[in-house]
Structure 1
Amino acid sequence: MWKIKKIKKMIALLLAGVLLLTGCGGGAAKYGPVNKNGQQGVSKDGKLHLTFYFPVQVGGETAKLIENICNDFSKEHEDIVVDPIYTGNYDDTVTKIQTAIQGGTPPDVFVSLATQRFTMASTGMAMPLDELIEEDGEEGQAYINDFLDGFMEDSYVDGKIYSIPFQRSTMIVFYNKEMFQEAGLDPEQPPQTWDEMIDYAVKLTNKDHYGVGIALNSGSAQWGFTALALQNSENGENLATEDGFHVLFDTPGNVEALQMILDLQQKYKCMQPGIVQWTDLPTQFLAGQVGMIWHTTGNLANIKENADFEFGTAFLPAGKRQAAVTGGGNFYISNGLSKERQKAAWEFIKFATDTKRAAQWSLDTGYVPTRQSCYDTDMIKEYYKDFPQAKVAYEQIAISGCELTTYGVSEIWRVLNDHIQAAVTKDMTPEEALKEAQIQAEEILEEYE
């Protein structure tokens, strides 16, 4: 264990060293040639080019929409060009950012999971944004205050703001109203509790489709399980402490929650057996292979566009209490940039999260509008009036908590997800799986204290 810790610390120090080197000389990293005025990264066209890494984790035309935002910004800012680079899913994006940093060419701005905030801060991959906010004076503070508390709460590390909410979501229930009617269920009364969900799922299940789908694959299981933990803990505790140094995996409430998921598969046989894949659920739902799914509001536009049946949305059902989980990506600015590049990246972030643009982004994607002022716009008011399924996400934010967030979060996720899968495949009982996950996660987190 000591050797593993030492190796990890050496890697962290190496990464920090790369960041320092790329930031030397007033932040002059390898961003391209320097012109006669000392501006770095200015191309032959005389413009400052910003590199923007972005992931796409949901279906639809999200990548094209991102490109449109970048093009619109460049049209309004004639001296700055934002070059968007699609970097795969969120995990792929973190890997590519690390590779770029080690090569001395980090992206100027990037979107990564809000849950990566401790990692971004501790490794120096991202810079705190407080100074940029302060430089905007009252306008800067008003800008920050306008974001929904449920999204801003996971932008902070040690009291400093490291990221700005962008493509944010919450997990909700999507359900097929036609299947509800065929099963003798009221299509306007989705399940409110775990017991009701089990009852509904059993009634919905037949030879053609399962009643419910909840993702259990690595990289996604932790999101749904965070919701289950929030719903079934004694006092609303999450899966980790707020400081990111400890996990709370093996509580009685969490063991009970994992057993409930296994019962859906093994006892009631109303959920697909084995490891249910996150990316498969929307396709299965649209194909009529499952009556209810727990999934991101980021897929709302995709489902709305492609469903050939009437569907509804609802809050996640309650265990001991009703609760849900937030997720999705935030904007970060890479550490070690010149002041000029910092300011240009900051202007782009503010542009992309402008009230009207954030509202339009919600309409186009299904992600939740991140700013309170969005809900005062005519476009959101009309959208919710015409498509009330979308309003469920906003209403649920008030009872939502952050997705599992710790230092070294990717490794912690892997530990939890691997052990959830061990329980699914019957290699371990829920109690054994979560106890072992607790031990392994705490050993990993010791090095960060």
Structure 2
Amino acid sequence: MRTIAKMSVLTLLTASLMAGCAKPQTETSASTPGAGTEKAKEKTELTFYYPIAVGGPLTATIEAMAADFTKENPDITVKPVYTGSYADTTVKTQAGVQGKTPPDVAVNLSTELYSLLDMNAIIPLDEFIAKEDKNWLSDFYPAFLANSQTGGKMYSIPFQRSTIVLYYNKDMFKEAGLDPNKPPTTWEEMAEYGKKLKKEGRWGLEIPVSGFAYWMMQTFSLQNGKNLMSEDGKKVFFDTKENAEGLQFWSDMARKDKIMPEGVTEWATVPSDFIAGKTAMMYHTTGNLTNVKKNAKFDFGVTFLPQKKSYGSPTGGGNFYIFKDIDKKKQEAAWKFVKFMTEPERAAKWSIETGYVGVRKSAYETDVMKKYVAEFPPALVARDQLQHAAAELSTHNNGKVSKALSDQLQAVLTGTAEPAAALKKAQEEADKALAPFNK
């Protein structure tokens, strides 16, 4: 018994010693795969808000581009969040900023520059830009950069940018005895053509009012005088004789000449009507070009907006912004993503898939874009119109200022106000909204 007991004690002691020896071996074994190698990089996840304001299945395109970025940058994961229209995206972005949960990077209207600055929501990008090739920024079209900077600093990078163009149905031109290769070039010609093109069940022209009435008004302002605001976003010039003339012409086409619908025409209805053959001409963003190309069952043309004293269109669309109250590492990752999304090949691809202008000059030097415009010359119209383009309406307190104008434009187009009186009222309301920024 004593011998058995002694053996049991020895056995236990041996087992204990073996266990004690084995423990360091297990730890070494567990750490061996990482021994002598660099620690795996910690993943950075970016939340990316983006809107869609034109027709077509573009969410899939955006998500594919984000996935391609992650393949090239495995330490960064981009989470694309479709946030609806531009207006919806603005609301969600501002709510995120106010709730201390901003997106890391977002495409918002280029015109939200001052609003986001007033919220202290975004960072200037000059520090990042300075590290790029000296020609990097100058490769972007100057007209698109106009809404991207203020006070000598660059706050956003152009992405899905546009000008307003005139689309016209060539088959309907032929039917009306008009030359399908000679679209209207002046206001007077547009009204004259509209009368010839209008018939039962079909308008001669449609111009959207809802959502972007101020943007459409800018076309008439630029073509007959000057832009609607100062470069510093602190003043507007609504109440002018030239603007009243432009608004009167717009109103007359609907209420007097009857070549376009009276009242408020919906933004999304206009391209649908054009594709369905319910209107012979339309004003709309070039961002709908690919949608029209894919769905129109007729021959159509695209041209500069008709002029009065000169050609003119405001630029439009969205820019990339990087947000302030996020980790520096995320800001650096967001900058990588912005650069990736605006590389020439990618800018060309985005332009082809949407109709938006390729925001960089070098996008038009890529083989894929050269081939596309050779087959489809209308893809160059909006880009070529940039020589006559100006910044979109953008001011401090931008929501109130643009609403003041849009409300009065709708009043004129619905027949409840006269142009001069409406613009005077819009000017007064905008001046009140801007008063705090002019002390």
Relative to the length of structure 1, the TM-score reads 0.87
The residue type paired with residue 126 of structure 1 is I
3-state SS in 1 of match to 2:100: coil
Say if 2:219 is the partner of 1:223.
no
Inter-partner Cα distance in structure 2 for 1:302 and 1:378: 22
Say if 2:276 is the partner of 1:287.
yes
Question: 1:11-410 alignment to 2 at 5 Å?
Answer: 46-134=42-130, 136-137=131-132, 139=133, 141-217=134-210, 219-233=211-225, 237-410=226-399
Question: Which piece of structure 1 moves more, 93-102 or 223-232?
Answer: 93-102
| Runs of 4+ residues over 3 Å off in structure 1 | none
Q: Deviations over 1:348-381 (max 9, x none)?
A: 0000001101111111111100001111111111
Q: Deviations over 1:408-430 (max 9, x none)?
A: 11111111010001111222111
Give yes or no for contact 1:50–1:82 (8 Å, CA) kept in 2: yes
3-state SS in 1 of match to 2:95: helix
Inter-partner Cα distance in structure 2 for 1:222 and 1:103: 30
Give the CA deviation at 1:102: 2.4
Q: Deviations over 1:175-196 (max 9, x none)?
A: 0000000000000000000000
* Aligned-pair identity (%): 45
Q: Which runs of 5+ in 2 are unaligned?
A: 1-39
Give the CA deviation at 1:336: 2.1
3-state SS in 2 of match to 1:370: coil
The residue type paired with residue 179 of structure 1 is M
Give the CA deviation at 1:241: 1.1
Give yes or no for contact 1:121–1:157 (8 Å, CA) kept in 2: no
Inter-partner Cα distance in structure 2 for 1:45 and 1:207: 66
Inter-partner Cα distance in structure 2 for 1:324 and 1:91: 21
Inter-partner Cα distance in structure 2 for 1:400 and 1:200: 24
Inter-partner Cα distance in structure 1 for 2:149 and 2:265: 33
Inter-partner Cα distance in structure 2 for 1:148 and 1:98: 28
Inter-partner Cα distance in structure 2 for 1:92 and 1:411: 16
Inter-partner Cα distance in structure 2 for 1:90 and 1:126: 17
Give the CA deviation at 1:45: 11
The residue type paired with residue 419 of structure 2 is P
Inter-partner Cα distance in structure 2 for 1:208 and 1:45: 63
The residue type paired with residue 174 of structure 1 is Y
Give yes or no for contact 2:102–2:325 (8 Å, CA) kept in 1: no
Give yes or no for contact 2:41–2:75 (8 Å, CA) kept in 1: no
The residue type paired with residue 419 of structure 1 is Q
Alpha carbon RMSD of aligned pairs, Å?
A: 1.3
Give the CA deviation at 1:46: 4.7
Give the CA deviation at 1:347: 0.1
Give the CA deviation at 1:272: 1.0
Inter-partner Cα distance in structure 1 for 2:373 and 2:65: 23
Question: Which piece of structure 1 moves more, 279-288 or 124-133?
Answer: 124-133
Instruction: Please say which structure displays the higher CA radius of gyration.
Output: 2
- Matched residue, 1:416: 405
3-state SS in 1 of match to 2:233: coil
Inter-partner Cα distance in structure 1 for 2:41 and 2:413: 56
Q: Which runs of 5+ in 1 are unaligned?
A: 1-43
Which residue of 417, 422, 432 corresponds with 1:428? Answer: 417
The residue type paired with residue 414 of structure 1 is K
Relative to the length of structure 2, the TM-score reads 0.89
Give yes or no for contact 1:170–1:325 (8 Å, CA) kept in 2: yes
| Number of residue pairs aligned between Structure 1 and Structure 2 | 399
The residue type paired with residue 281 of structure 2 is M
3-state SS in 2 of match to 1:328: strand
The residue type paired with residue 193 of structure 1 is T
